[in-house]
Each structure stands twice: as C-alpha cells, then as structure tokens.
Chain A
Amino acid sequence: MSAQVKLGTEPSAVTRWIILGVVGVIFAIPIIALLQFSFRDGLGGGYTLDHWAGLFDADAARTYRGLFQAIGNSVLLAIVTVAIVLVILLPTMILVHLQFPRLKRVLEFICIIPITVPAIVLVVGLAPVYSVVVKIFGSGVWTLAFAYGITVLPYAYRAIQSNLDAVPVVTLSEAARSLGAGWLTVLRLVLLPNLRRGVLAAAFISVAVVLGEFTIASLLNRVNLQTALLQVGQSDPWVAAIFALLALTFAFVLLLLIGRLARNRNNS
C-alpha cells in the first residue's frame, strides 16, 4: 500500500524549529566567527578589545579615512539609488497600474531582467555607457547609483507591486478625483499613504543591496564600503571584520523593519 502524500499541510512545530535551528546555525556560524575574529589578538591566540577600541582612537579618523569616506560614498549611493526608485520606478508603476494596465507584464519583465544578469556581465555592458555618463555627469561616485538603480529594480519592483496589488488603487484614485482632487493631490493624499509600506520596503531593500554591492563598484573603479573593506582587510583584517559586522547588522535591522511592516500589513 502506498502512503498518501498530503500536500499543503504545515510542518509540525518541532519540524519548524529544527529547520529554523539548522538555517540559523548556517547563518550564525560565519557571523559568530567574524565576531570572534574581531576580538582575536593576532594569530597567537588570546582576545583583546584593542581592535574595537582602535576605531575610537584620535588617530582612527586619519588611519581609516579611506574607509570612512567609502562609508560616506555608500550612504550617498544608497540615498541616490532610493531617490531613483522613488522618482522613476514608483510613478511609472502607479501610472502603468492606473492608466496602462496592459503594460504591467512588460514592466514586470523589464524590472525582473537585472536579477537574471550576473553583475560581471552587467559591468561589461555598463562600461561603455559609463564613458558617456562620465562626460555628462563627471566621475563622481554618486553616478554609480545609475547602475545600482538597475540592480535594485527586481527587489524594489516586487515590494511596491505587492502593495499595489493589495490596495484598490484604481477605485481610490477615481473616488478622489470625483471629489475634486487633481492627480498630484491623489498621489500625495490618497495613494502614497496607502503605498507607504511598499515604498518603505523598496527603499530599505535598496539600501541593503547598495551597502552590500562590490562587483560593479570594483570593476568600474569606484570606491564604496565593500571595495574599501577589501582594501583595508589586506592591511588590517580585524577592522575589516568589524565593519563587515556593522554593515551586516545594519542590513539585518533594515530587513527586520521590512518584516515588521509586512506583518503590520497582514494584520490590518
């Protein structure tokens, strides 16, 4: 007698905890190792707080100037990338949703493409484009945000689209217009407050992606947090480990916030 396989049944609480534990351990081991390494006193063994304390030395600003500058670059890139998402992607998605629903599939396809293209391939394509970008906008590090605007498209699109699908955007905007609101007012007073969670999630995930990006920055010879960490790591691996930990913690907090927002949406 063949055993019947039940589809769609939830795993038991024990199974869930086991899965969570295994996955947690897989994620935790390298992070704990990184943390432990940041306290190691050289290769001879023993632990010290000197590496962490060194960050707050009077000389630290000079020693790690490059690294702090890279952090500044990454923050700037994150801000410009989020601005690109908010100024270009969000209005485009709302416009397509309201006025050109037939283009939804096309837009989705375009936005998903970057996830299928390896960063190295993207750079090969972007290199000649950036020779033009440099001529127009100069070689400021912020111009890297144009490339990041593309790499974050799939994640930002998904976050906003799921919110758009959950809210009766068409009816709400028609109701607002019938009450005398112009398009900008509809966007400001009706749509954005109801798309807040999707927009925030898109922004947070964009920040997380930008802070973790290495390949494009490295191959286009720009300095960001990740390229600087690599450089610092070659001379002071402990500081590189500390900054990697801090960046991970920041990204983790952002993802927790996204999770919290999603839970709030489900509850409401």
Chain B
Amino acid sequence: MTSSIPIATTIASSLTTEGATVELIGVVKDYGSHRALNSIDLTIKPGEFVALLGPSGCGKTTALRALSGLELVNGGQILIDGVDVAAVPTNKRDIGMVFQSYSLFPHMTSLENVEFGLRMRKVPADERRTRALEALDMVGLGTFAERFAHQLSGGQQQRVALARALVTRPRVLLLDEPLSALDAKVRVSLRDQIRRIQTELGITTVFVTHDQEEALAVADRVAVMKDGVIEQIGTPEELYTTPATPFVADFVGLSNRVSAELSSGKVLVHGKELDLLGAPQADGPVTAYIRPEDVAIESTGIPATVVASSFLGSLRRTQVVLADGSLLSIQHDVDTRPLPGDAVFLRLKGAPVSAVPRAVNAPVAEVAVP
C-alpha cells in the first residue's frame, strides 16, 4: 500500500497550460576535454512526459540543465516551440524546474516561495496570493501556506517546489531527480502525483532519473542515455521488449548475459534458436541478453541447480547454475518454491533477444544485476 498524499480533486484553470514542443538538435556540451553531450537529438511533443534515464555521468542532468539554460551548450540548437533558446538566459526561458536537493528559499514561507515566480513577473499581490494558494491546493498543501521549509518534511518541500515551478504556467517543466532524496513510500506516492498533475495540466515535462522503475512508471517515452548520447528512445514497453542495444537491454530491467552463437540471424542459446533484436549482425559467438521472465522452470529441459531463491511479493526470483558453471536468474510465480541445491530443468520461452559480438574465449554467462 502506498502512502496517500492529499490532493486537490480538480486543478484550477489558472494553472493549466499549453504544452510546448521541445527540440534538441545536435546539442553538444563539453567540460574541458570531456564531452558530456555528444550531438544529442531529441524531440518532445506538446504535453508529453519524457524521462531521461541512465547511469551516473551519462549526461542526463547535463541535458536537462542545457534545456534550462543553467549550462550553456557548445553547439547545436535548443528549440522551444520552434524558437532557438540556446543563448537565452535561464530567467528568460519560461521554464519551471524542480531540483534534486531541497531548494525552497529558507527565509520565505511556502506561500512566499510559490509567489516568487509570480512576483518576478510583476503579477499584482492579490492575484499572486490567489494563484499561489491554488497551486498549493493542487499539491495538497493549502493548509501549509505559512510554514517555512524547515517545518516541512522532505516530500512536502518537494511538493511546494512543484507548486512553485508550476504556478507561473511555464512552457516546460523540468524535473531533476526530484524524488531521489525521499524515502521509498513517499517517492512512489509523489511520483504518481506528479504524473497526474502533469497529465491534467498538459505541460511538456522532462524528468531526469537513474531509477528505471520510476522512469518506466511515469513517462510517456523514455530516453536511455549513455556516455553523452541517447542509446534509445521509446515507450517503456518498447524499451523493455525490444531494446535497441545491449546497453539498453542490460540497463532497463534485469537481463542474463548468456554465451550464444549467431547464425543466419538466429541466436542459438543452449540448443534453442531465438530471434535477434535490433540490427542484423555477422555470424559468430555473441553474448545474448535474456530476461529472467523469458526462462521457465519445467520438468524437462536444460539441467541446472538452484543456488538461491528470493520471495519478492508478487513473484519469486531464483538463481540457478548451469552445467557449464554459468549463472542464470529466473523469474517465476510464487507457488514454485525451489530450494538451494534442488535440481531443476529450464526452458527458454523463445522471446527475441539482444546480442553483442563476443570474443571466442571470453568468459561464459553471468547474471547482470542493474
């Protein structure tokens, strides 16, 4: 059960916005000799929720900061509704941003914090107060208007920060890992709240996270980044079921790395022919990426011995060792309860797999744990 956060049932019309189209075209960002963004291309449709997902140092936060203007880019174009804003300072870009660390102004109340953006836009005091209270109501904190940051919990502070970012009706909402400092329950609850508010407001949103579950849960599309480039962008389902690269297969969800042979476009794994995902490759030894749920425990098949089995609530994950010494992770229902040392048989269900060429004598399979 997730903890519930009180929220407004309807969102005031003063907060709704028309989402903008955001385009990054060939965006390059260098830090000295290190290229943090390597010719990034990304188009985000009006009202779309896009997550930038990747490991630390992949460039996702740099991309977001480039979009916000907090980092100036070395090349390329950043278009908001067709207008290049690459040289426009942050305070003129009309964006809303929520930061990873708590960023409420400590000397102001929640209400004053939310009013700040309106104050910068010279909105009259009465209207400012009304709109700020509506924004606080939207995030369920209307009764916390007079509280200072140190009188709010982490989740409440981030909700005030969200209200502050949205109250000016910005063209784009940027979320820089806003949930990472929160505990698990609040994180899930606030994540869902952000998504609901974003949908109702129709604001174009870019969400940076290193948490794949978070990205897959809230985003319309997810862009997986690595070493300053976007490896793949697609819906959560596309990324999971048809990863374009081994990195995506490895990073999004859990994958087993298994030694295999590629022949005529088919991947041969333990005697089973599987379809290859992605671009065609030359025949030869490969490492195939197989999802734990694409392997089943059966009465006959590939012999294996159970190493460990974990109960994960709605499912169970079991690690087995094959005859060649390689480890596999299998996901199955909770009714099957293998014990360490049990002899079992495995069956590959036949789902298409990603593969990457492998040196002939390279180490055999291992389990990848993201």
Contact = CB atoms under 8 A, between A and B. Distances in A.
A172 B102 CA distance: 9
Interface in B70-106: 70, 89-92, 94-97, 99, 101-103, 105-106
B99 A180 contact: no
Interface in A154-169: 167-168
A185 B99 contact: no
B106 A194 contact: yes
A1 interface: no
Contacts of B161: 175
B210 interface: no
Nearest to B148: A268
A3 interface: no
Contacts of A189: 116
The interface size bin for chain B is: 20 to 34
Given A171-B102, A175-B99, A178-B91, 7 more contacts: A168-B101, A168-B102, A168-B103, A171-B101, A177-B90, A178-B97, A190-B105
A44 interface: no
A179 B168 contact: yes
B120 A181 contact: yes
B165 interface: yes
Given A177-B70, A179-B116, A179-B168, A172 B91 contact: no
A137 to B, nearest CB: 37
15 contacts: A171-B99, A172-B105, A174-B99, A174-B103, A175-B105, A177-B91, A178-B97, A178-B174, A179-B116, A179-B168, A180-B92, A180-B117, A180-B121, A194-B106, A194-B107
Interface of B: 68-70, 89-92, 94-97, 99, 101-103, 105-107, 116-117, 120-121, 150, 161, 164-165, 168, 174
Interface residues of A, number: 19
Contacts of B106: 167, 194
Given A182-B91, A194-B106, A176 B70 contact: no
Given A168-B101, A171-B101, A185-B120, A178 B107 contact: no
A167 to B, nearest CB: 7
Contacts of A178: 68, 70, 90-91, 95-97, 165, 174
Contact of A193 (B99, B107, B120): B107
Contact of A176 (B92, B101, B116, B121): B116
A190 B102 CA distance: 15
Contacts of B99: 171, 174-175
A180 B103 contact: no
**6 nearest A-B residue pairs (beta carbon):** A180-B120, A179-B117, A175-B103, A178-B97, A177-B90, A193-B107
Interface of A: 167-168, 171-172, 174-182, 185, 189-190, 193-194, 268
Given A178-B68, A178-B90, A178-B97, A268 B150 contact: yes
B350 to A, nearest CB: 49
Contacts of B120: 179-181, 185
Q: Which of B95, B107, B117, B164 has the most CB of A within 10 A?
A: B107
Nearest to A186: B91
B72 to A, nearest CB: 12
Nearest to A182: B91
A181 B91 contact: yes
A180 to B, nearest CB: 4
A62 B174 CA distance: 70
B142 to A, nearest CB: 20
Contacts of B89: 177
B104 to A, nearest CB: 8
Given A171-B99, A175-B97, A180 B105 contact: no
A194 B103 CA distance: 13
Contact of B103 (A171, A185, A193): A171
A98 to B, nearest CB: 11
Nearest to A171: B103
A179 B103 CA distance: 12
A178 B91 CA distance: 5
B361 to A, nearest CB: 46
Contacts of A175: 97, 99, 103, 105, 161, 164
B164 to A, nearest CB: 7
Contacts of B97: 174-175, 178
A181 B91 CA distance: 6
B207 to A, nearest CB: 15
A176 B168 contact: no
Contacts of B69: 177
Contacts of A182: 91
B97 to A, nearest CB: 4
Q: Which of A168, A175, A181, A268 has the most CB of B within 10 A?
A: A175
Nearest to B114: A179
Contacts of B91: 177-182
A190 B121 CA distance: 16
Contacts of B95: 178
Contacts of B103: 168, 171-172, 174-175
Contacts of A190: 105
